[in-house]
């Protein structure tokens, strides 16, 4: 493999030349074969295992991730996706036969999965490895060439990902381009066959607008204010553990994280006490000393979170801040007004607002009045309430009695709806995301009934009515 990189800032490779190089390679047809795709997936798997120490160190520097975090939600997550793709690729690539109506017989119809061509993947900073490479796994499995732009907000991870991919793939096939917003904008000026973006709604609108100029389809993996509702039937101890894990994993910098907590008034005091105990069990009395507790990615987000925790409500757990270490302790804020910025902005950090309620229907109405989130979490032992929230809320997913873990099930398509995104990936959904389902219809010459041809008469019309059962 040729070990070169594309650096727009150096002027050595322009975006237009980069895309043309990929199109020329795609036109050779190598990526369409099963063997080529399989070998590339296997090479990526080997590279991930070999480079895991380098990636682990980069993620520690950028986000303070523990070894367990890296294995479970970054490198290990990608390996699970790779293993699924490698195992199922023959089945995914297979054409699917479909039946034809009587009017098209004799004939045969099938749906043929076909690569899209050259795709652009814009990665995110909060899970830099996973959110960059899992879409790439789908693109490779589907037979595409890919241009990868890791997030510059996690610079050490961006460099590690770029070097891993440069060592693994010919740049005509998979190219990594590092840089900031100007680099992304330069890439988006070009015509791609699909664009995959992970991030926030504001930038997503820019991506979608630029893609529209070329009529390029997009997948947008966004976020939102994921509500978590705990009713009076919930198991307090289990709920506290799962909520604390789902909120403070990666220091709350997770698109699927519990954003805020609705708690029935009758159990609020008990649940808050258990949450405080659980935080201490997980991270100790001094979370800044815990190897298992992450850091805020940069100073901008530190300032943003510091503003949020002083914007309303009463801090009942945490609130300790050390911007020099990019540290914000696991924080719980009670008595948060609904008009507080904590309830209006996506938090994306280790701050958990608490809102008590007495009437569950009023909570349901509130949730449905907000932009559709990536997830709704409900902790309840009441099956009727499970059914009610499943049917009457709109979100990318609903999870009953747990949080965040839905992302770890590759057979469950992952994605949002409305403000939380469009399109799905993970597992086969990743393959489908980067695939054109091509219609193939084949008919013989030996029978050519003239009923469909002009001139039309009453007999032909009568026959058509019978066929249409009119």
Contacts of residue 23, defined as CB under 8 A and 6 or more positions apart, other chains included, come to: 117, 118, 145
In a domain, 463, yes or no: no
DSSP-based three-state secondary structure for 121: strand
What tokens does 64 get?
């303070």
pLDDT-derived band at 13, boundaries 50, 70, 90? confident
* Stated length of the chain: 470
CA dist 172 → 22, 33, 85, 186, 354 (Å):
5, 17, 22, 18, 51
* Cα gap 442→371, rounded to integer Å: 45
Contact 226, 373 (CB under 8 A): yes
In a domain, 445, yes or no: no
Contact 219, 435 (CB under 8 A): no
Cβ-in-10-Å burial (0-12, 13-18, 19+) of 85 comes to: buried
Q: Are residues 404 and 433 in the same domain?
A: no
Residue whose token pair is 């013989």: 444
pLDDT-derived band at 2, boundaries 50, 70, 90? very low
pLDDT in tens, 379-432: 999 999 999 999 999 999 999 999 999 999 999 999 999 999 999 999 999 999
Contact 391, 415 (CB under 8 A): no
Residue 332 has pLDDT above 60, yes or no: yes
Q: Are residues 283 and 351 in the same domain?
A: yes
Residue 8 has pLDDT above 90, yes or no: no
pLDDT-derived band at 77, boundaries 50, 70, 90? very high
pLDDT-derived band at 449, boundaries 50, 70, 90? confident
E strands present in 240-330: 260-264, 314-317, 321-322, 327-328
Read off the pTM.
0.95
Which sign does the torsion angle of CA 19, 181, 2, 116 carry? negative
- Write the CATH number for 323: 3.40.309.10
Rounded to the nearest integer, the mean pLDDT of the chain is: 95
Q: Are residues 60 and 184 in the same domain?
A: yes
* Cα gap 277→65, rounded to integer Å: 22
- Write the CATH number for 74: 3.40.605.10
Angle at the Cα of 274 from the Cα atoms of 226 and 385, rounded to 5 degrees: 45
Residue whose token pair is 């996506």: 346
What pLDDT score does 350 carry? 98
pLDDT in tens, 103-140: 899 999 999 999 999 999 999 999 999 999 999 999 99
What contacts 24+ positions apart, CB below 8 Å, involve 206-211? Answer: 207/122, 210/185
Residue 3 has pLDDT above 50, yes or no: no
User: Closest Cα partner for 148 from 163, 443, 54, 57?
Assistant: 163
In a domain, 446, yes or no: no
* Cα gap 391→197, rounded to integer Å: 29
Q: Are residues 159 and 92 in the same domain?
A: yes
* Cα gap 408→78, rounded to integer Å: 10
What tokens does 41 get?
């997936």
Q: Are residues 237 and 217 in the same domain?
A: no
Residue 11 has pLDDT above 50, yes or no: no
What pLDDT score does 30 carry? 98
Q: Please compute the mean of the pLDDT values over residues 301-330 and round it to a whole number.
A: 95
pLDDT-derived band at 4, boundaries 50, 70, 90? very low
The verdict on whether omega for the bond into residue 455 sits within 30 degrees of 0, i.e. cis, is: yes
pLDDT-derived band at 6, boundaries 50, 70, 90? very low
* Cα gap 10→27, rounded to integer Å: 28
Name the percent of the chain lying above pLDDT 90: 94
Q: Cβ atoms within 10 A of the Cβ of 286, count?
A: 11
In a domain, 2, yes or no: no
Q: Are residues 245 and 158 in the same domain?
A: no
pLDDT in tens, 239-267: 999 999 999 999 999 999 999 999 999 99
What pLDDT score does 468 carry? 86
Q: Are residues 235 and 216 in the same domain?
A: no
pLDDT-derived band at 467, boundaries 50, 70, 90? confident
What pLDDT score does 10 carry? 35
Full residue range of the structural domain in which residue 102 is found:
8-222+421-437
In a domain, 366, yes or no: yes
Q: Are residues 308 and 191 in the same domain?
A: no
Q: Are residues 62 and 122 in the same domain?
A: yes
Q: How many domains does the chain have?
A: 2
Name the percent of the chain lying above pLDDT 70: 98
Q: Are residues 131 and 273 in the same domain?
A: no
CA dist 46 → 12, 39, 111, 233, 340 (Å):
30, 11, 33, 47, 48
Contact 398, 376 (CB under 8 A): yes
Cα-flanking dihedrals φ and ψ of residue 230, to 5°? -120, 115
Q: Give the active site residues.
A: 221, 255
pLDDT in tens, 19-60: 999 999 999 999 999 999 999 999 999 999 999 999 999 999
Q: Are residues 272 and 191 in the same domain?
A: no
What pLDDT score does 7 carry? 47
Q: Are residues 20 and 169 in the same domain?
A: yes
* Cα gap 136→119, rounded to integer Å: 9
pLDDT in tens, 146-184: 999 999 999 999 999 999 999 999 999 999 999 999 999
Q: Please compute the mean of the pLDDT values over residues 439-456 and round it to a whole number.
A: 94
Q: Please compute the mean of the pLDDT values over residues 343-365 and round it to a whole number.
A: 97
* Cα gap 299→45, rounded to integer Å: 34
What tokens does 86 get?
């490698």
């Amino acid at each position: 493999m040729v070990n070169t990189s594309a650096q727009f800032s150096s002027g050595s490779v322009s975006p237009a030349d980069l895309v043309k190089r990929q199109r020329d390679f795609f036109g050779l047809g190598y990526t369409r074969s099963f063997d080529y795709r399989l070998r590339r997936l296997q090479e990526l798997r080997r590279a991930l295992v070999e480079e895991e120490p380098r990636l682990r160190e980069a993620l520690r520097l950028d986000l303070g991730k523990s070894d367990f975090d890296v294995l479970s939600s970054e490198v290990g997550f990608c390996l699970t996706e790779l293993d699924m793709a490698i195992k199922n690729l023959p089945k995914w690539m297979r054409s699917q036969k479909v039946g034809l109506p009587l009017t098209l017989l004799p004939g045969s119809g099938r749906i043929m999965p076909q690569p899209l061509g050259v795709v652009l993947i814009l990665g995110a900073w909060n899970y830099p490895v996973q959110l960059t490479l899992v879409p790439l796994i789908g693109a490779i499995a589907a037979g595409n060439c890919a241009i990868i732009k890791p997030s510059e907000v996690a610079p050490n991870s961006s460099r590690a990902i770029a070097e891993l991919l440069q060592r693994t793939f010919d740049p005509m096939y998979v190219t990594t381009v590092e840089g900031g917003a100007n680099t992304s904008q330069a890439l988006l000026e070009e015509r791609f066959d699909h664009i995959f973006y992970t991030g926030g709604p504001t930038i997503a609108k820019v991506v979608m607008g630029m893609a529209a100029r070329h009529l390029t389809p997009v997948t947008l993996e966004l976020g939102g204010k994921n509500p978590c509702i705990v009713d009076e039937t919930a198991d307090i101890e289990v709920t506290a553990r799962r909520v604390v894990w789902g909120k403070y994993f990666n220091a709350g910098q997770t698109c699927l994280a519990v954003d805020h907590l609705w708690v029935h008034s009758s159990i609020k005091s008990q649940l808050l006490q258990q949450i405080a105990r659980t935080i201490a069990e997980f991270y100790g009395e001094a979370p800044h000393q815990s190897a298992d507790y992450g850091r805020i990615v940069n100073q901008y987000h530190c300032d943003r979170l510091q503003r949020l925790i002083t914007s309303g409500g009463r801090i009942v757990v945490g609130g300790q801040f050390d911007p020099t270490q990019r540290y914000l302790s696991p924080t719980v804020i009670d008595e948060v007004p609904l008009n507080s910025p904590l309830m209006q902005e996506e938090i994306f950090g280790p701050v958990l607002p608490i809102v008590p309620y007495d009437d569950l229907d009023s909570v349901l109405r509130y949730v449905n009045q907000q932009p559709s989130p990536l997830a709704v979490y409900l902790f309840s032992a009441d099956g009727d309430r499970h059914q009610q929230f499943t049917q009457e809320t709109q979100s990318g997913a609903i999870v009953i009695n747990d949080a965040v873990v839905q992302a770890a099930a590759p057979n469950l398509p992952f994605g949002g709806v409305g403000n939380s995104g469009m399109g799905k990936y993970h597992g086969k959904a990743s393959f489908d995301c980067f695939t054109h389902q091509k219609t193939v219809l084949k008919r013989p010459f030996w029978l050519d009934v003239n009923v469909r041809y002009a001139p039309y008469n009453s007999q032909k019309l009568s026959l058509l009515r019978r066929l249409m059962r009119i």
